[in-house]
Chain A
Amino acid sequence: MAKSAIALEGKTGRRISLKKMSHFGYWLNMLYRIFVYALLLDLIFVFLYPFLYMFVTSFMTDADLVDTTVKWVPRAFHYQNYIIAFKYMNTLLGLRNSLIQTGLSVLGHILSCSFIAYGLARYKFPGRNIMFVIVLFSFIIPAQTIIVPLYMNYSRMGWMNSILPLIVPTFFGFGLRGGLFVFIFRQFYMGIPNELEEAALIDGCGSFRTYLRIILPISRTSILVSAVLAMVWHWNDYFEPAVYITKPLQFPLPKMLPGMYAQMKLVKEAFVRDPITGQLYPKILNEAVVMAGTVIVILPLLLAYLLLQRYFMQGIERTGIVE
């Protein structure tokens, strides 16, 4: 009788297939495999598409944009778009601001959230469960609910138009999605064996030294995961920076993107006046330049992710981050 294929995939990844089948079963299996691979191709495509689009469009000229036959391969690599975007986005300044803001925030998150989570996870003291619930609340409550008093407090303290309101909370376990990182670290710390700390205690480590020398080095996975997430979220954050920073010289890089239009307005040659309606039309700002701008904004993040990606995924696949 005909049996269908049973493909066993062992942990080693080798495919051991027992094929005892008729032709019909064989073709059915082939169809199934084709379907699955088409589905996978689709998924990869959906994930990659925005990047491909951004990248390809950024090299197009005006003519290419209007030309409907040109979709994936521009006529030539019109890299001038990048120069234009670079100039009008005040890229170096924005990059500097973003790097400082994101870098310090990530540092703050890693240091404070692991510290706090360690205390919550491994030390029993009255109130620790309530505190953890409040930590979760800090993640659930959107920043919009408390933005007004925060704005009032910060302006009273003179912190407006600086990166302080964005960075200082991260060193205390708050900030953008800080509660989530405390959660991640806590789950991880709850899973480490007691023997580790007991050995440290026997060797004479106090609590802080145990944290610094023993716990922190083994938390590499959680640190990586938190770092990547914090980096991505802080780099692309637009709500809080928009509230606290209003001087264009201190905008982070993503905020410079919509500012391109305003910047171009200051330059005479960038616009043409339509003789009939009297409206201003941007002469050099087109979709390609905007896309070049977005590529510039995303590029540092993309590079950082590609560099960290391997350790990031390896860490997750080995130890996991949640119990």
Chain B
Amino acid sequence: MKRRGLSIRKRRERDGYIFVLPWMLGCLFFFAGPLVQSFRLSFSKLTKVAGFQMEWAGFENYMKAFVYDVTFIPMFLEVVRNMFVNTPLIVIFSLFIAILINKNIRFRWLFRVVFFFPVLLGTGYVMQELLGYQVDQQTMEVARGILLPQEMLQYFGPRISQIVQLFLDRLTIILWKSGVQILLFLAGLQGISSSLYEAARCDSATEWEMFWKITLPMISPVILLNIIYTIIDSFTDAENPIIDFIYNTAFVVTQFEYAAAIGWIYFIFIFIILGIVFALMKRYIYHTGR
């Protein structure tokens, strides 16, 4: 008896491809295609801007970025430095806040609503206006006043208070940027079954021990996800000078090929950083067998 048509497995495969078809089309037009074009563009020079005609120029654009353009490298370093400083702080704080929201404290409902507010501000025009009026520093001044009086800081000496000052200055921005991370951590915390905690309590574990032995290992995949997300977020942030630079280079000065080269340098660098982070963190991810 001959079977007509496809086998079940083949049919499933075909259906799978149908589901993914829109993505494949989109990838071609909106992602892979432009990516290849951008790659080619970064190695060429535009002869006529109106008709987008190109000619091969080798590494000229890349050389320009590293050797000739004085402004690129310092900007780049600043972006990288910001990323290195902000990322651990954001991840740690958002974990802290997520755990806080997860527990039964009195004003929990308020927290749940409010923590996402800064995300609503976005990083676009509104945020720029607010930062222009230095709202972030004002926040810190008042918040600092509530928690840590100025006098106490001065008591500790200039060195320590300087470090604390630096830290607190950044703190507002960091908390404002933590919205999505808090969300991800909250979702991750849901995945930890409470029976683990109950068993630990039976064995008289303290909150501290429970955090280190249960919470932290169980959400380690989410920690990695958050680190990666935060790195990407900081690199595509609106106040990022490089982003502005690319925009200006491409559309104000219309040096398209240079902008493409810078975009690629940027991307390769992000890629390397993410690769390193991933490789480093892989050891610490505790995999709950599925």
A interface residues (Cβ-Cβ under 8 A, vs B): 8-9, 11, 13, 15, 36-51, 53-54, 112, 115-116, 118-120, 123-126, 128, 131, 134-135, 138-153, 156, 169, 171-175, 180, 182, 207, 211, 225, 229, 232-233, 235-239, 242-243, 254-255, 257-258, 287, 290-291, 293-294, 297-298, 301-302, 305-306, 309, 313, 316-323
Contact of B138 with A53 in the complex, beta carbons under 8 Å: yes
B92 in the interface (beta carbon within 8 A): no
Bound together, the chains give a CA A50 to CA B222 distance in angstroms of 29
Please classify the interface of chain B as helix (H, G, I), strand (E, B), loop, or mixed, using the class held by over half of its residues.
helix
CB under 8 Å from chain A, chain B span 31-90: 31-35, 37-38, 41, 52
* Stretch from B119-127, B151-159, B208-216 contacting the other chain: B119-127
Q: Separation in Å of the A246 CB from the closest CB of chain B?
A: 9
Partner of A138, one of B27, B124, B264: B27
Q: Hey, what's the 0/1 contact readout for B258-288 against A, CB within 8 Å counting as 1?
A: 0110011011001100100000000000000
Q: In this complex, which of A118, A144, A232 has the most chain B Cβ atoms within 10 angstroms of its Cβ?
A: A144
**25 A-B contact pairs sorted by A residue (CB < 8 Å):** A36-B105, A46-B143, A47-B118, A49-B139, A115-B19, A115-B22, A124-B13, A131-B20, A140-B228, A140-B232, A142-B236, A146-B35, A148-B250, A149-B37, A174-B31, A180-B229, A238-B238, A254-B125, A294-B129, A298-B126, A316-B187, A318-B190, A322-B184, A322-B188, A323-B191
Please classify the interface of chain A as helix (H, G, I), strand (E, B), loop, or mixed, using the class held by over half of its residues.
helix
B23 in the interface (beta carbon within 8 A): yes
Q: Which 7 A-B pairs have the closest CB atoms?
A: A119-B19, A236-B122, A172-B26, A123-B16, A238-B124, A149-B37, A145-B263
Q: Separation in Å of the A288 CB from the closest CB of chain B?
A: 11
Contact of A116 with B22 in the complex, beta carbons under 8 Å: yes
Bound together, the chains give a CA A114 to CA B263 distance in angstroms of 30
Q: Hey, what's the 0/1 contact readout for B99-119 against A, CB within 8 Å counting as 1?
A: 010011111001111111111
